[in-house]
Copies of this chain bind each other. A is one copy, B any other.
Amino acid sequence: MKDLTLTVQGMSCGHCVSSVEGALNQLDGISEVNVNLGEGKVDVKYDEAKVSVEQIKEAIDEQGYDVVA
């Protein structure tokens, strides 16, 4: 398992948190997701054999948010 923290712009409320968490939890290989709305941070614990950082970023992007770092 690896840890990843992404900086994500555009998340503004609980619905946004739910949509990001929901999208990431649907990916295979994700074991934990934590979104810090105030800081605009998304923490993910993932299995690098099953899912790539690129796929994680893409899932967030598809929900309409910008992964900036």
Contact = CB atoms under 8 A, between A and B. Distances in A.
Contacts of A14: 64
Nearest to A18: B15
User: Chain A interface: which size bin?
Assistant: under 10
Interface in A8-58: 10, 12-16, 19
A5 to B, nearest CB: 22
Instruction: Identify the 7 closest CB pairs spanning chains A and B, nearest first.
Output: A15-B15, A12-B12, A12-B13, A13-B13, A13-B16, A15-B16, A13-B15
10 contacts: A10-B13, A12-B12, A12-B13, A13-B13, A13-B15, A13-B16, A14-B64, A15-B15, A15-B16, A15-B19
